[in-house]
Chains A and B, each alone.
Chain A
Amino acid sequence: MSFIEVKQISKTFKLAKKKSGLLEAFKSFFKREYFYVKAVSDVSFSIEKGEIVGYIGPNGAGKSTTIKILSGILNPDSGECIIDGLVPWQNRREFVRKIGVVFGQRSQLWWDIPTEDTFLLLKDIYDIPDFEYQKNKEDLIDKLNLKDIINIPVRQLSLGQRMRCEIAASLLHNPEILFLDEPTIGLDAVSKQLVRDFIKRLNKEKKTTIILTSHDMSDITSLSKRIILIGKGRVLYDGNLKKLKNKYEDEKYISIKTKEKLDLKCTGLKSKKKSVDGYDLVIDTKVISISDILNKISKRVKIDDVDIENESIDNLIVKLYEDYKI
């Protein structure tokens, strides 16, 4: 059996209908109408110890609901979930010692006092022995470069500094599983890189299992080999990120700079769009090679400049969403 085993979990929320208009608001005051939203349906997957999994999907796809179920905050309507031998929502107190959760949008640090004080509270909450606490703290300070910021009131920290403290706070008790819910949201490039490097290192050195959600695809590509794509509450793709890329790798983007008008029709040309100073083309390299198409174009117009690109991972995701109609 896997470290994390999720079997066919479903969760439906009952929400009150909200209509616009004063009259409608008045009506709904007396008689509420409800509708049901299937947040997740039949979600199954298993994760091994020490894996890093990117959990992706558009807004409202059911990512947060899944994370909440896995971390024991919510219990599903049906289905099973066993993590390291425990059912998250049944053995709450025992289970939460094994996990650390970072919500990118919500802080767990105390606003008016230095991070180190929050650490002390966490030490008591998780009953971390002095020796272990000291060791973990120093280790985290070192790796996340917190030395100069740990004694400053949190409200005075920058977003990037705060996120580093946030991550450290979630790891003081040495969790076996770390949930990262959009850990790099709003961070600058340097902070992002620092956070990513740290996560990689953590996974390598401590074999921490990491489940990561993010809308920033570069987070996912740099951290995880495996992704689970979820949309409208269902698992659409679960597997290797590279394979998914290969599926779309035959397509190339060619942008051409030219002042002349290009009239081109051939097999393998999937689309042609006029851009500000030329044309954007998409070709299928299984049908037509890059040199062939460039050859054809250069015969027709004078090319000032040319740019050839692979499908970007962001585009890939947009395409995936389109393919799966989510």
Chain B
Amino acid sequence: MKYYFRALSLHLKSELEYRTSFIFSFLSQILVFFSYYFVIISLFLRFNNIKGFTMYEVLFCFSIIQFGFAFNEVFARGLDKFDDLIIEGGFDRILLRPKNIIIQILYNESDFVKASRLIQAIIILIISLIKLNIKWNIFKIVCIFLMLLSGILVFFSLFLLAASYCFITVQGLEVRNVFTDGGKHMAQYPIGIFSKGFVYFFTFIIPYAFVNYYPLLFVIGKSDNIYYAFSPLILFIYIIPCIIVFYLGVKRYSSVGS
């Protein structure tokens, strides 16, 4: 893994080459991102709750998803931008290196500016946890760590699937945004506020609900079901077929070519 961290440090160095641009992007990210939270806060200034969920419960939910997404943007952006790697032929170079293919893709690009979102997400998470008056126990603490981890995993898995699709064609990639960006926007809220169909979709097809909704119910005491506390573990299983599909794509690439 040493080479992975070396590559990340080189990315940071590259970005710092353009220092002014880096600082301004970083600041603007903070502002843009704050506007997201502002929408939620102003929503709750008018309505007391959404289908029984209070403001801090929604912010809790929101920050978990934002954390997972921003984490991938900083540490695995190459996977998100995999189509470029295929189009520009950089993937051939990866195949010429004696290291794991996926890890090499991860560090191919990075966006450290997004680290600002990561920090914001953690701050919002801590604030909402304090304001929520949670009766803490060991399971709840473990549960929150699992939520953060599974938030990372869910986007990682989706990026992997989208990347696998690039092996077949790099056209029509916008479809993936329905699942990543579109899904992300819905999953920022407790899935339960949406109709049944969405709940099933985000439970069984793209398991966002296991990342923040079910564990949220457990942490805030709306449910005592201990299974809910460990539901983020589903994502550790979900990622396995995604990795397999990706390697099938690699196999196809080396037999079909670009």
Rank and list the top 10 A-B pairs by shortest CB-CB distance, nearest first. A124-B3, A112-B14, A93-B98, A125-B3, A73-B95, A112-B17, A97-B98, A124-B6, A124-B2, A96-B98
A104 on the B face (CB < 8 A)? no
Taking a contact as CB atoms under 8 Å apart, the answer to whether A13 and B256 are in contact is yes
Provide the main secondary structure of the chain A interface: mixed
Does the CB pair A110–B6 fall under 8 Å?
A: no
> Are the CB atoms of A13 and B17 closer together than 8 Å?
no
Q: Contact at A121–B7, with CB atoms within 8 Å?
A: yes
Q: Which residues in B have their C-beta under 8 angstroms from that of A74?
A: 254-255, 257
Whether B92 sits at the interface, judged by CB under 8 Å, is yes
Determine the distance from Cα of A96 to Cα of B97 in the docked complex, in whole angstroms: 6
Q: Is the beta-carbon distance between B6 and A121 smaller than 8 angstroms?
A: yes
CB A115 to nearest CB in B, in angstroms, measures: 12
Q: Tell whether A101 is near chain B: CB-to-CB under 8 Å.
A: yes
Interface residues of B in 8-34 (CB under 8 A from A): 10, 13-14, 17-18
Using Cβ atoms and an 8 Å threshold, which residues of chain B touch A92?
95, 98
With contacts A97-B98, A112-B14, A121-B7 known, is A75 near B255, CB below 8 A? yes
Contact for B97 among A13, A89, A111, A125, CB less than 8 A? A125
Chain A interface bracket (under 10, 10 to 19, 20 to 34, 35 or more) = 20 to 34
- How far, in whole Å, are A116 and B90 apart by their CA atoms in the complex? 20
Alpha-carbon gap, A125 to B101, bound state (A): 12
Bound form: Cα–Cα A117–B9 in Å: 10
Chain A residues, Cβ within 8 Å of B7 = 121
- In the bound complex, residues from chain A placing their C-beta under 8 Å from that of B6 are 120-121, 124
Find the residue from A112, A126, A153 having the highest chain B CB count within 10 A.
A112
B87 → A minimal CB distance (Å): 12
Q: Which of B205-258 contact A (CB under 8 A)?
A: 254-257
Task: Give complex CA distance A239, B219 in Å.
Answer: 75
Structural contact, A99 and B96, CB atoms closer than 8 A? yes
Is B89 an interface position by the 8 A CB rule?
A: yes
Is B99's beta carbon under 8 Å from chain A? yes
Q: Which A residues from 114 to 159 make CB contacts under 8 A with B?
A: 117-118, 120-121, 124-126, 153
The answer to whether A121 and B96 have CB atoms under 8 Å apart is: no
Please provide the chain A residues from 87 to 104 with a CB less than 8 Å away from any CB of chain B in the complex.
89, 92-94, 96-97, 99, 101
- Known: A14-B256, A68-B257, A106-B93. Is A121-B10 also a contact (CB below 8 A)? yes
Other than the given A65-B257, A110-B14, A120-B6, 13 more pairs (CB < 8 A) read: A68-B92, A68-B257, A73-B95, A74-B254, A93-B98, A94-B98, A106-B88, A113-B17, A117-B13, A121-B10, A124-B2, A124-B3, A125-B98
